[in-house]
Amino acid sequence: MRKYELILLGMVLSFPIFGQWIDYEDNKAGFRISLPGKPVIREDSLDAAIGISYIKSLTVSEGEGIYAKVYLANFTLYSESVNLDSEDSTDYFICQTIIDQINTQLDHSVILYNENTIINGFNAKIAAIRYGLDSSTLRMAFIHNRNKLMTLQYYASKETGMSNEAEKFFYSFEFNN
């Protein structure tokens, strides 16, 4: 009987505990982030006029219905010819285009704020959009380093709202090379 109890305990301990944050690190892409669960990962590439871009998306959903929260980390590695830290406003154009596209895709949306900041020592832009008849909120952060852009998005209903978990998600991100 004791043997089966030990096996059961080992199985239970091998699964993440509900609510436990997971540190995700991608050494090839050069970033790390904490997420509130195991992410669904999608990878793609895009060949555009500025060269081939590598894209990796990590998504975690929590809760259901009006209490649902979605965490999305979207990493893009642009070609070496792109420098988002340059003075030519490339970073502004890319980030603003993403904000505007998302804003037009959401029903009954309004941009609450859209401002420059620093997150963990890197230039960033942070924005929030209220949308839908229920006044759900999308908070976004755009963090860039040379030809790398991480877009973080946190979707929450009015009932859930912004939380310490959203802050933890945003400020856990780091470029590591």
Q: Over its length of 177 residues, how does the chain's per-residue pLDDT go in tens digits?
A: 444 443 443 443 344 444 689 999 999 889 999 999 999 999 999 888 888 889 999 999 998 887 889 999 999 999 888 888 777 767 778 888 889 999 999 999 999 999 999 999 888 999 999 998 888 899 999 998 888 999 999 998 877 767 788 889 999 999 986
Torsion angle of the four alpha carbons 147, 96, 48, 55, in this order, in degrees rounded to the nearest 10: 60
Q: Enumerate domains of the chain plus CATH numbers.
A: 19-175 (3.40.1000.10)
Q: How far is CA 39 from CA 4, 22, 35, 58, in A?
A: 31, 9, 7, 5
H or E segment and range at residue 170: helix 164-172
* HSE-CB for 89 with a 13 A CA cutoff: 3
Q: Reduced to 3 states, what is the DSSP secondary structure of residue 122?
A: strand
SS3 100: helix
DSSP annotation of 163:
-
Best CA proximity match to 131, nearest among 154, 157, 159, 101:
157
CA dihedral of 17, 27, 175, 44, whole degrees rounded to 10: -90
Phi-psi category of residue 161: left, alpha or beta, with phi > 0 → left and psi -120 to 50 → alpha: left
Residue 95: per-residue pLDDT? 87
Are 58 and 72 in contact by the 8 Å Cβ rule? The answer is yes
User: What is the distance between the alpha carbons of residues 41 and 63, in angstroms, rounded to a whole number?
Assistant: 19
146: nearest Cα among 88, 87, 85: 85
Which of 98, 115, 111, 87 has the alpha carbon at shortest distance from 149?
Answer: 98
d(CA 115, CA 117): 7
Match 């420098």 to its residue by tokens. Answer: 83
